[in-house]
A and B are shown apart, each in its own frame.
Chain A
């Protein structure tokens, strides 16, 4: 006896909802995209996005000011030294502070913000696997931070070089190593968003008050230069520093350690992120919402 197409279609939803077989993956992808779409609107147009825009605009404003009012020093007149100036701005301001706080803001709010808004139960009541929710929300945060901080990094570098040395900058970016440096900086920014995003996603999920762990993380990442080589590897900043095209001295008190090569640093960050997302997925399956006390 042959099964009619109508009966087949009716069986599909049960397969999809339980996530077995091809249809499960297709459904999860669709649901991830739907969550992504919803969350992207919140990340870019929500009231909380204002602070993110402000953070991302800070380095651009700073280098614009530097281009308009350059200090009377050789650093601003030589291409080689200007790339060191940008490396200092990138390492000291963009990477260590702005991306860190920006990611903390976005990724901690993915779940904590929903709890505060008392809207997480809408997601939990809909027929979506919670792991799918984690992935969808994480990807939305990732896209928002990558777009904002990636653009801020690229814009800062271009404004600095073209603003101070327009003639040399054209040659530097179009036929020199400038384009490679620019892409590397943007790449490091993307990796920073991936790494810090995963850390703050899990912090936001596990801790009711994520401020203290965020503060401890900030201290750990800042004091990384003082840590012994073994401990340096238990941080995101160590791998990111290994990848920046113009390495800077970390000062006289820094404990020197071999930078991790790119072929190890990049996969390490991806593996770390994968493990964190997996843990977040495990945690959220048992998560119960309590809006009291928020």
Chain B
């Protein structure tokens, strides 16, 4: 036990003396959550639009006002003819043009049908989709207002409601994924690098020719990173809750327990990577290319898994982060209880056991 304790102390010294890595370890989660929280957003705010109003009556005026006062759009200019549309887009400032037909209000009251056309700059398809969605829902909203109090049935009744993220706050979406990425980065990557470092510097050679057994070496390596990852995790949670007001609708204890489970999964992955890499660079490359990249792209962190081609959807199943993100979104945003995430939890437990078994099998008690 004294041996093991000395080993853990040594590990902490390595970590605490490497200021730069330490700075990255603690700075990165903060930087990431601030970046995703403030800068990278899928939300629309003050999108510049142009309006081409052939009718210029009180109804089109009201709709325009409603759209512009929503906070999502900003009127860049009023257009006078169809010919102006193309140049207006080419300027590159406006993202959308709204066109009201002639006699809009008259048509609406006479035949109950008026036409409005929305043209969006689809060079950024996601943004265009969202702009159109926002605009049409505002118009629908107006339609509803108009029809209420009248004996006529509502013209169209579309109920758009953004479930779980009513304000479409992207930070709500990102936080669970961010937790997964940070836990994975700190635990898997740092553990694998730290074990590979001993091999690279030749110190593993003397550790092997000593009474320390492999289990002591591995667990001793893992413990400091377990704590660092835990601290990081707390930072992310606190920032999410108090700076970005992400709700934790479910049980906090359950969230923490599931996170610790994922932490152990990541650590065991790190050990597995270290057993197959002989130097720090290999460990880093494997962690980055085989772990980080797929996790960021395929786990549902940023891009929804449902929108991926089928092969990628299947591949996404092998990523522990995918299951963890489902769990965290479930607990934080939907407030589900444990019974809803049993399957995901079991998948993580299974993966962890598999990784540990494989690493124990692959750990070399000798040099080759």
Question: Are A and B genuine complex partners?
Answer: no
Hey, which bits of chain A sit against chain B, CB under 8 A?
none
Hey, which bits of chain B sit against chain A, CB under 8 A?
none
